[in-house]
């Protein structure tokens, strides 16, 4: 149950920089030195501001989660939930379910390879390229031309940057297109599973405890990065050798205490703290509830259409978990918006901003702002219908293959991003992943349900050709649409093997195929291009207008001696704070640490609170080993801190002032998860304690091979 939160005066009614607020780019940290010192940071700030020196150079991305090197032999620590699909699901079968058993490689020969496309990304360069991206563009450039020029400039920059197959370059957008940076990454293609605890440790508490505290989840796992003997990045091969990392984190067996300084280094995905008021208002009044409805139905569809016997339950385990995770998160945001009176406080701030605009903005700046707000309203009206458009993995993959063939008729430089030579490997790997994450019958059931919802939207919000092909405009029952879908799914191309066969066909060869799936994607192809162009034009204009809004917002903040920071966008960031408990309601205080004893107290013998006998015995006998923490009279399992994180930070290294790993960030508290929209001082990050990781490896697993490899600080 979510309780009405107290101390509303602590909300971010203004945009003052608070010590623990912000996902900062490393180069920005020197200007925050006084705040860092107040929080307890003792090292030189310059040591944090360089992406390519320790400890920042030890931090890596898994392409959706964060991680860190913890040995010179390419050993990587991240969250358990970050490796479920690519390692546990991929390597599990009816004979061996790694979710149930866990996995420990006691030698490197036993380490298990990742699903196709598993990668580790190491940032090796980052530079400002705003002028290059916006070359040839001014305020009067027509929107579609603007979109094309930016796209062409990005493609040129990326092509010049990617001088080998192991290098991947990305153009990152900051402040809604006000500035751009080029991120150059070393892409390691051979990643292997070293250790994952059984699910009763790695996801103890399941969805019941998700986003909750007190928490007792061992959300940790270990991977290893491999390269060729020549140190180049190569796909999986027995001849590959561990990647030699010059920068890695030592692991603290002392951990942290209440009040200690901590930092999180990672790759946060996205925050929404620079939204206009009408965007926030839409989400609170409509968006949150619609997302909850959509996700809840997705969970039910998977539950109703999968089972153990067919293997489909395992195949859709990851997708169901994703739906459940976002369902609970957005439910928490929905409640948090009410409890923290988000609309009331944001409206007051917005009105202050508009007063500033009226007095200080130029006529052109004011016009841009009004145009932006109108464009946002127009977009939001269509967004809900678009959520229900598609939802077929089979059709989407066939569309990508058909589009790929069409783009291949052009020179590489003229192809759309996603279909160039550099993208072919990624497309092939996406198809291969269907082997363990796709089932035609389940996919069809999900698509039909979403299609029926899509049919209920007014015609002007639906795609005409798509609707016509699926008989959505006809007034009779849904039977005719269902028969058409049955026909589409009778295709000869419903497996990864068959999809790979057509992936490299020419457009002419695809068009000659007499297959219902290919025929359908061919019929809706031109309409897809039309809508793509429509959205590109709108998004280009919106980005231009939003960047002007950001400039106005910065002027407003500067006028009262405040700063703004860029929303999270998948680039390496730093956030800092302190270990601290929290009181969110009268008479209740969440202590900063949970303990092993809490696991035993929660144990019921029924999932997700059913733990192994060996674990319970060790807790009962108080076999704490070297990881006893006097303050809690046990081994700490999880702890909370004032760190500011979001999605993508999962697996991020939580470190102390000595740059030692003291935990892995993995979750937030549902009561304050609305902090993705506006920073909440009461928000807390949940990290799994380094002492629990070490205790598990030592006392539970007797994993001497791993303990001998890492550097433990006692």
pLDDT tens for residues 614-645? 999 999 999 999 999 999 999 999 999 999 99
At 10, is the pLDDT very low, low, confident or very high (cuts 50, 70, 90)? very low
Confidence (pLDDT) at 563: 77
Region of 371 (left: φ > 0; alpha: ψ -120 to 50; beta: rest) is alpha
At 679, is the pLDDT very low, low, confident or very high (cuts 50, 70, 90)? confident
219 is catalytic: yes
Pair of tokens at residue 589: 């205080």
d(CA 644, CA 663): 15
pLDDT tens for residues 584-607? 877 689 999 999 999 999 999 999
Nearest Cα residue to 94 out of 301, 315, 321: 315
> What are the beta bridge partners of residue 665?
687
pLDDT tens for residues 253-272? 999 999 999 999 999 998 88
143 is catalytic: no
pLDDT tens for residues 365-405? 999 999 999 999 999 988 999 999 999 999 999 999 999 99
Confidence (pLDDT) at 8: 29
Measured CA to CA in angstroms, residue 645 lies from 214, 259, 663, 664, 678 at distances of: 18, 18, 14, 12, 12
Confidence (pLDDT) at 4: 29
pLDDT tens for residues 206-222? 999 999 999 999 999 99
Mean pLDDT score of the chain, rounded to an integer? 94
d(CA 48, CA 35): 14
Pair of tokens at residue 611: 């733990």
Residue among 219, 260, 283, 567 flagged as catalytic: 219
Task: Name the fold adopted by 8-119+189-273+567-713.
Answer: Thrombin, subunit H (2.40.10)
Is residue 12 over pLDDT 80? no
Confidence (pLDDT) at 381: 81
d(CA 309, CA 369): 57
Average pLDDT over residues 53-66: 96
Residue among 61, 437, 491, 650 flagged as catalytic: 650
Confidence (pLDDT) at 3: 30
Is residue 19 over pLDDT 60? no
d(CA 557, CA 353): 9
Is residue 525 over pLDDT 80? yes
Is residue 15 over pLDDT 70? no
At 542, is the pLDDT very low, low, confident or very high (cuts 50, 70, 90)? very high
Of all residues in the chain, the percent with pLDDT exceeding 90 is 89
d(CA 687, CA 664): 5
Is residue 142 over pLDDT 90? yes
Alpha-helical runs (H) found in 389-469: 393-407, 424-432, 434-437, 440-455, 464-469
Confidence (pLDDT) at 7: 30
Of 387 and 11, the one with more pLDDT: 387
Confidence (pLDDT) at 391: 96
Confidence (pLDDT) at 677: 84
Q: Where are the domains of the chain?
A: 8-119+189-273+567-713, 390-462+464-523
Residue among 81, 85, 147, 392 flagged as catalytic: 81
Of all residues in the chain, the percent with pLDDT exceeding 70 is 97
At 321, is the pLDDT very low, low, confident or very high (cuts 50, 70, 90)? very high
Q: What's the DSSP call for residue 389?
A: S
Answer for the pair 665, 651: CB distance below 8 angstroms, yes or no.
yes
Alpha-helical runs (H) found in 98-221: 98-101, 130-133, 143-161, 199-202, 206-209
Of 366 and 675, the one with more pLDDT: 366
Length of the chain: 714
d(CA 699, CA 652): 24
Nearest Cα residue to 302 out of 320, 284, 326, 281: 320
Average pLDDT over residues 282-299: 97
Is residue 308 over pLDDT 60? yes
The packing angle between helices 342-360 and 363-388, to 10°, is: 150
- Which residue's entry shows tokens 């809508």? 531
Answer for the pair 369, 560: CB distance below 8 angstroms, yes or no.
no
Confidence (pLDDT) at 676: 82
Is residue 523 over pLDDT 80? yes
At 226, is the pLDDT very low, low, confident or very high (cuts 50, 70, 90)? very high
> What is the three-class DSSP state of 187?
strand
Average pLDDT over residues 424-433: 97
Contacts of 628 (CB under 8 A, 6+ apart): 634, 635
d(CA 69, CA 653): 9
Confidence (pLDDT) at 585: 76
d(CA 634, CA 614): 17
pLDDT tens for residues 693-709? 999 999 999 999 999 99
């Amino acid at each position: 149950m979510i309780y009405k939160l107290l101390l509303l005066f602590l909300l971010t009614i203004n945009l003052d920089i608070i010590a623990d607020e912000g996902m900062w780019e490393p180069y920005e940290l020197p200007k925050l030195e006084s705040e860092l010192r107040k929080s307890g940071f003792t090292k030189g700030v310059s040591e944090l501001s360089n992406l390519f020196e320790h400890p920042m150079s030890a931090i890596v991305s898994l392409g959706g989660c964060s991680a860190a090197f913890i040995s010179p032999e390419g050993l990587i620590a991240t969250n358990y939930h970050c490796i479920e699909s690519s390692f546990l699901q991929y390597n599990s079968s009816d004979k061996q379910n790694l979710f149930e058993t866990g996995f420990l490689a006691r030698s490197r020969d036993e380490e298990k390879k990742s699903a196709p496309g598993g990668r580790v990304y190491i940032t090796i360069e980052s530079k400002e390229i705003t002028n290059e991206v916006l070359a040839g563009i001014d305020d009067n450039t027509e929107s579609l031309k603007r979109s094309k020029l930016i796209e062409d400039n990005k493609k040129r920059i990326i092509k010049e940057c990617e001088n080998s197959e192991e290098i991947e370059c990305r153009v990152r957008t900051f402040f809604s297109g006000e500035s751009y940076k080029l991120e150059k990454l070393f892409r390691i293609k051979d990643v292997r599973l070293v250790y994952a605890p059984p699910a009763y440790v790695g996801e103890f508490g399941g969805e019941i405890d998700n986003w909750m505290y007190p928490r007792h989840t061992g959300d940790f796992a270990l991977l290893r990065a491999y390269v060729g003997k020549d140190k180049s990045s190569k796909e999986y091969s027995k001849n590959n050798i561990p990647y030699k990392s010059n920068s890695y984190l030592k692991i603290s067996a002392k951990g942290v205490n209440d009040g200690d300084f901590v930092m999180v280094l990672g790759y946060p995905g996205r925050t929404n703290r620079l939204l206009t008021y009408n965007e926030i208002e839409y989400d609170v009044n409509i968006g949150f509830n619609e997302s909850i409805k959509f996700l809840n139905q997705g969970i039910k569809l998977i539950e109703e259409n999968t089972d153990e016997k067919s293997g489909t339950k395992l195949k859709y385990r990851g997708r169901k978990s994703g739906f459940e995770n976002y369902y609970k998160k957005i439910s928490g945001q929905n409640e948090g918006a009410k409890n923290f009176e988000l609309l009331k406080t944001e409206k007051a701030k917005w009105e202050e901003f508009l007063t500033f605009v009226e007095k200080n903005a130029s006529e052109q700046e004011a016009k841009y702002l009004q145009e932006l707000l109108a464009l946002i309203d127009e977009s939001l009206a269509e967004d809900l219908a678009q959520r229900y458009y598609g939802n077929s993995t089979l059709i989407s993959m066939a569309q990508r293959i058909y589009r790929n063939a069409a783009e291949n008729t052009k020179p590489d430089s003229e192809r759309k991003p996603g279909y160039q030579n550099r993208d072919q490997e990624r497309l092939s790997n996406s198809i291969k992943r269907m082997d363990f994450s796709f089932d035609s019958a389940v996919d069809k059931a999900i698509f039909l349900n979403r299609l029926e919802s899509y049919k209920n939207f007014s015609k002007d919000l639906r795609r005409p050709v798509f609707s016509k092909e699926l008989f959505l405009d006809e007034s009779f029952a849904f039977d005719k649409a269902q028969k058409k879908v049955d026909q589409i799914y009778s295709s000869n191309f419903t497996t990864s093997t068959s999809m790979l066969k057509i992936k490299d066909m020419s457009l002419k060869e695809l068009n000659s195929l007499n297959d219902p799936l290919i025929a359908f994607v061919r019929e809706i192809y031109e309409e897809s291009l039309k809508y793509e162009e429509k959205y590109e034009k709108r998004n280009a204009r919106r980005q231009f207008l939003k960047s002007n809004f950001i400039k106005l917002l910065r002027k407003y903040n500067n006028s009262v001696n405040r700063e703004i920071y860029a929303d999270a966008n998948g680039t390496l960031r730093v956030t800092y704070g302190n270990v601290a408990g929290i009181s969110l309601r009268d008479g209740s205080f969440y202590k900063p640490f949970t303990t092993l004893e809490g696991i035993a107290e929660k144990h019921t013998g029924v999932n997700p609170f059913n733990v192994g006998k060996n674990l319970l015995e060790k807790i009962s006998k108080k076999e704490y080993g070297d990881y006893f923490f006097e303050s809690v009279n046990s081994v700490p399992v999880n702890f909370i801190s004032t760190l500011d994180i979001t999605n993508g930070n999962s697996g991020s290294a939580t470190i102390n002032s000595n740059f030692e790993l003291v935990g892995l960030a993995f979750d937030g508290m549902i009561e304050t998860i609305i902090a993705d929209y506006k920073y909440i001082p009461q928000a807390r990050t949940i990290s799994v304690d380094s002492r629990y990781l070490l205790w598990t490896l030592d006392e539970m697993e007797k994993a001497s091979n791993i303990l001998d490899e890492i550097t433990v600080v006692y």
